[in-house]
Structures are given as C-alpha cells and as structure tokens.
Amino acid sequence: MNKFFPIFLFVFSLSVYAAEYDIDPAHSSVSFKIKHLSISTVMGRFDKFSGTVDLDPNNLKAIKTSAAIEMASVDTDDTKRDDHLRSPDFFDAAKFPQMTFVSKEAKENSKNKLAITGDLTLHGVTRPVVLDAEFSGAVKDPWGGERAAFTAFTTINRKDFGMTFNKMLDTGGLMVGDEVRIEIAIEAVKKK
C-alpha cells in the first residue's frame, strides 16, 4: 500500500495546481498589423472575443487554450476600411463570423516562454500556427479571485486563409501586404 502513496501524492498535486481560467475581455486585447501601400503599417483590433485557458503555473507546457474572435468586431479607427474588412474581399464576416484558435501542444522554450501550437480557423480555412507566448504570472486579485496573464504573437499569411484581395500600385507594389502579425495580451480569471 505504501508504494502507491507517492504516486497518489503526485497525481493529487497536479490536480491542485491545474485550473481553468476564462479570458477577461475587459483586460485583454487581440490586435493585428499589416503593411499598407508597401510603405506603412495599419493597425487594428477585435473588440469582441472569448476563450478559456487550462493552466498549471508550475507546468506551463501542459497549457490548453481555446478562443473565438468575432470578425464583425474589427476596428481600425476607420469605418470605411472596417466595412471593407468585413466584406467578402477580406473576412466575409457574414459567412465566417468567427476566427478560432484551439491549442494542440506547448513547448517551454525558456523560463515562462512557450511555443503554443494549435489550429487557427479563419475565413473557413483551418491551418496550424505557432504562438510565441510569454507567461506573465498569476496573482490573487483584490476581489478574492485569481488571475493569470500571457502575451503572445504570431505571423500568418492572409492568402493561406483564402483572403487574396489586392490592387497593384502604379509604383509596382501592392496595396495590402500578405503577412499579418497578430498580437494578443490576455488576462484570465480562474473559474470558481
């Protein structure tokens, strides 16, 4: 009987630390950057998103996360451009209302830095992507809850997701770049 006690303690200790957290949209952000006219960068964000993070701060490579971003919530501070992004030329938000990410595995590269591999579904296309993430820490908040925070980024090629709209410029460049940098800052609240 005693030989099983250490195994029991190990399994019990894992369950004590692993917990599910809900992404707090009021303290989180999902933003993007893309080249415009080959010379400048346009930045935007998505204002509506949700998700969960299964996290053990002592075993970061066991992280599991999923998120859904509402494509109609795109905001680049320009109504005309936002409407164009929602159109079939880009997101086709009426037909594909959400972008989703579901993690598959994580590798800890160094202390608190992770490579999280998962499936990104955008514009009806699912492709694997790697998020370069950093765990910022976990704390007790003033309201008796627990919070954890991450930052992450990845770069995708929009054409890989079927978004091919573009216009050739007289100077030979393209109106819209192909590579999109997605940046994420997450604060999540531990479920009670």
Tell the residue number behind the tokens 């627990």, with chain if given: 146
Given a contact cutoff of 8 angstroms between Cβ atoms, the answer to whether 147 and 139 are in contact is yes
The whole-chain average pLDDT of the chain stands at 91
List C-alpha distances in Å: 116 to 46, 71, 160.
21, 22, 19
Mean pLDDT along residues 63-70: 98
Alpha-carbon span 103 to 70, nearest angstrom: 18
Q: Which listed CATH number (1.20.1050.10, 3.40.190.80, 3.40.50.800, 2.40.128.110) goes with 18-190?
A: 2.40.128.110
DSSP track, 2-45 = GGGHHHHHHHHHHHHH-EEEEE-GGG-EEEEEEEETTTEEEEEE
Domain boundaries, the chain: 18-190
7-60 residue pLDDT tens: 444 444 444 468 999 999 999 999 999 998 888 999 999 999 999 999 998 899
Which residue from 29, 28, 33, 30 is spatially nearest to 156, judged by alpha carbons? 33
